[in-house]
Amino acid sequence: MTEKDTPDSAKSSIWGGRFSSGPSQLMQDINASIDYDKRLYRQDIAGSRAHASMLAACGIISESDRDAIHGGLDTIGAEIAAGDFTFSAALEDIHMNIESRLAELIGEPARRLHTARSRNDQVATDFRLWVRELIDSVDEALAGLQAVLLRRAEEHADTLMPGFTHLQTAQPVTFGFHLMAYVEMFGRDRGRFADARARLNESPLGAAALAGTGFPTDRQMTAELLGFDRPMANAMDAVSDRDFALEFLSSAAICAVHMSRLAEEMVIWCSDRFGFIALSDAFTTGSSIMPQKRNPDAAELVRAKPGRIIGALNGLLIVLKGLPLAYGKDMQEDKEGVFDAADALGIALAATTGMVADMTARPENMRAALEQGFPTATDLADYLVRDLGLPFREAHHVSGSIVAIAAGKGCDLDALSLEEMQQVEPRITAAVMDILSCEAAVAMRRSFGGTAPDEVRARIAEARARYGIGAA
Ligand code: ARG
């Protein structure tokens, strides 16, 4: 690679004082972050507005300078929103792009804005504000996903299906019960994001480069103006901390892993072998060669998204590991991973919500699947304990022997005659016939959080109250 000449050999108007020429093209290429950090423009403008208000309130700049700055920032916000803003890589990042445009628009007052501030506290503030908004939108999306799951769970509170362990038929459950497991998982995700938000919500603004400032500033005021709970207590920590990004990414990684489990179940459920659900044309694609195909691509992509998100978490942990305080340019590498993870999480949440709403259950196929795998063998063992007083381990053995007979005959447990069962355990009575059906097995599991339809309905009602999600 050859190092090209200085792009325009222009010194930086922002920091060029002690330089005699501009950076090389390569320096600009590795250094510029504007291509991605322009996503912070609204937050950068909000931070600058608050800073200017505070500088004026503390008598550090005049009120007319503040008004000029506010007016200019409003114009810039409108220009960027309308796509009328020319971003320049020579100006490195969003902070300097905006400040430079502000100088073009309003002249001298723009040059007073950076008093008692540094790009270090500025970027930390912008990024916190951005992640805070992101967390709020993720919470809304998660609540929407829970709402759809609750509706589908209600609809299928009585729909029997096999519950699996090791992906082998275990015990009968209801489809509504199964879906409610995800309502809980996404509820914990919301809790994790909320915890992260609470810790995030302190203001770095006014920490300046790392040591605070000699100007008589009011960090409390800027914190309040930006909706932060308080200013961060240590200026060095304020500019070097990225815990909020790590906490967002780790919460996002766990949430994405949850979605990937549901997505994988959907892939299994809609396979020809299972046929428990069907996804419509809206969430499937065809094959370019096999005309019969309907592929669950959206579910597969949701299943894959944790790759990026976990990758972003790993990436940022590695950037921060061993990084000495305070700011190092390494920290500019904090944003792309978070932006990419945010996009991946957002699309995965939307697609998952869409698929859960879209899927059509096939209760007949779920019921048919219960004819295999002896899903009520545990109920037989429980009956032997309850009605005959056998110790559970012995009951397990007896039930296993009876399953072996049914397996040998190729029939289900409730297709065996009482006599066949009595050959294994003579004390078994006709009452056993009542507990071998899947309907009975499900209805019986009324323990708190169990799969009995009435219990599932009670938990749905309680979850609706807990999450403030009313019935549609
Ligand atoms: N673009 C930089 C970032 O994202 C802004 C902070 C630059 N600070 C500095 N001292 N060079 O981290």
Atom number in ligand 1 closest to CA 327: 10
Pick the closest to residue 118 from 61, 65, 51 (CA basis): 51
Nearest-CA residue for atom 7 of ligand 1: 119
What's the confidence (pLDDT) of residue 8?
A: 52
Residue 147: cis peptide before it, omega within 30 degrees of 0: no
Contact present, 25 and 84 (Cβ < 8 Å): no
For the entire predicted model, the pTM comes to: 0.94
For the Cβ of 359 lying below 6 angstroms from any atom of ligand 1, the answer is: no
Answer whether residue 7 shows pLDDT above 70: no
Contact present, 42 and 77 (Cβ < 8 Å): yes
Nearest-CA residue for atom 2 of ligand 1: 332
The predicted model gives 131-159 an average pLDDT of 98
Catalytic residue among 62, 64, 137, 287: 287
For the Cβ of 93 lying below 6 angstroms from any atom of ligand 1, the answer is: yes
Amino acid, res. 52 = A
C-alpha of residue 119 to centroid of ligand 1, in Å: 6
Place of tokens 């970027």: 123
The predicted model gives 298-313 an average pLDDT of 98
Q: State how far the Cα of 52 lies from the Cα of 65, in Å rounded to an integer.
A: 8
- Calculate the alpha carbon distances from 209 to 26, 112, 113, 151 in Å: 26, 16, 15, 51
For the Cβ of 69 lying below 6 angstroms from any atom of ligand 1, the answer is: no
The predicted model gives 396-404 an average pLDDT of 95
| Residue 316 burial by Cβ neighbours in a 10 Å radius (0-12, 13-18, 19+) | buried
Nearest-CA residue for atom 1 of ligand 1: 93
Cα-Cα-Cα-Cα dihedral of 381, 386, 392, 398, to 10°?
A: -40
C-alpha of residue 123 to centroid of ligand 1, in Å: 7
Answer whether residue 422 shows pLDDT above 80: yes
What's the confidence (pLDDT) of residue 289?
A: 81
Q: Can you read off the two tokens belonging to residue 335?
A: 């944003």
For the Cβ of 331 lying below 6 angstroms from any atom of ligand 1, the answer is: yes
The predicted model gives 36-42 an average pLDDT of 98
Place of tokens 């053995």: 397
C-alpha of residue 121 to centroid of ligand 1, in Å: 9
pLDDT digits (tens, 9 = 90+) for 59-88: 999 999 999 999 999 999 999 999 999 999
For the Cβ of 123 lying below 6 angstroms from any atom of ligand 1, the answer is: yes
Answer whether residue 448 shows pLDDT above 60: yes
What's the confidence (pLDDT) of residue 472?
A: 66
Whether 166 is catalytic: yes
Whether 88 is catalytic: no
Q: What share of the chain is helix, strand, coil (3-state, %, to 5)?
A: 65, 5, 30
For the Cβ of 326 lying below 6 angstroms from any atom of ligand 1, the answer is: no
Nearest-CA residue for atom 3 of ligand 1: 332
Buried b (16+ CB within 10 A) or exposed e, 48-75: bbbbbbbbbbeebbeeebbebbbebbee
Please choose from 119, 127, 320, 333 the residue to mutate so as to test ligand 1's pocket, defined by most ligand atoms within 8 A of CB: 119
Catalytic residue among 20, 166, 288, 417: 166
pLDDT digits (tens, 9 = 90+) for 272-295: 999 999 999 999 988 888 888 889
C-alpha of residue 85 to centroid of ligand 1, in Å: 21
The predicted model gives 304-313 an average pLDDT of 98
Amino acid, res. 326 = A
Answer whether residue 406 shows pLDDT above 70: yes
Averaged pLDDT of the chain: 95
pLDDT digits (tens, 9 = 90+) for 199-248: 999 999 999 999 999 999 999 999 999 999 999 999 999 999 999 999 99
Contact present, 205 and 226 (Cβ < 8 Å): yes
